């Protein structure tokens, strides 16, 4: 998003951002986010195994965090299915 020294350029079109997200996901990337938009659900984190919401975001704030810690390790887990998540919280 154009800010600071790059104010002479237009914002990247929403369709381009969504296409880039789809391409990244088609290559197997699991945690793809689109920021600085008013698009719904593109900044949230979903479990790659069960697809349930684990972190809900709005702007730079986390509104809801549903992550558990494995008691025997430092890993974050999905509270719904137990999948190990590559998030640090």
pLDDT digits (tens, 9 = 90+) for 41-81: 899 999 999 999 999 988 778 888 999 887 777 789 999 99
- 21-37 mean pLDDT: 92
d(CA 37, CA 58): 10
Q: How confident is residue 17, by pLDDT bands cut at 50, 70 and 90?
A: very high
Q: How confident is the model at residue 27 (pLDDT cuts 50, 70, 90)?
A: very high
What own/partner pairs with CB < 8 Å and gap ≥ 24 does 32-40 have? Answer: 33/57, 35/1, 36/1, 36/11, 39/14
- Measuring CA to CA, how many Å separate 87 from each of 30, 44, 80? 11, 12, 16
Element spanning 68, H or E: strand 68-69
């Amino acid at each position: 998003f154009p800010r600071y020294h790059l104010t002479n350029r237009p914002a990247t079109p929403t369709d381009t951002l969504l296409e880039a997200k789809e391409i990244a996901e088609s290559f197997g990337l699991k945690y793809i986010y689109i920021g600085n938009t008013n698009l719904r659900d593109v900044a949230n984190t979903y479990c790659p195994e069960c697809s349930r919401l684990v972190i809900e975001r709005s702007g730079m704030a986390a509104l809801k965090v549903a992550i558990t810690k494995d008691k025997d390790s430092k890993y974050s887990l999905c509270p719904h299915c137990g999948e190990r998540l590559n998030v640090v919280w």
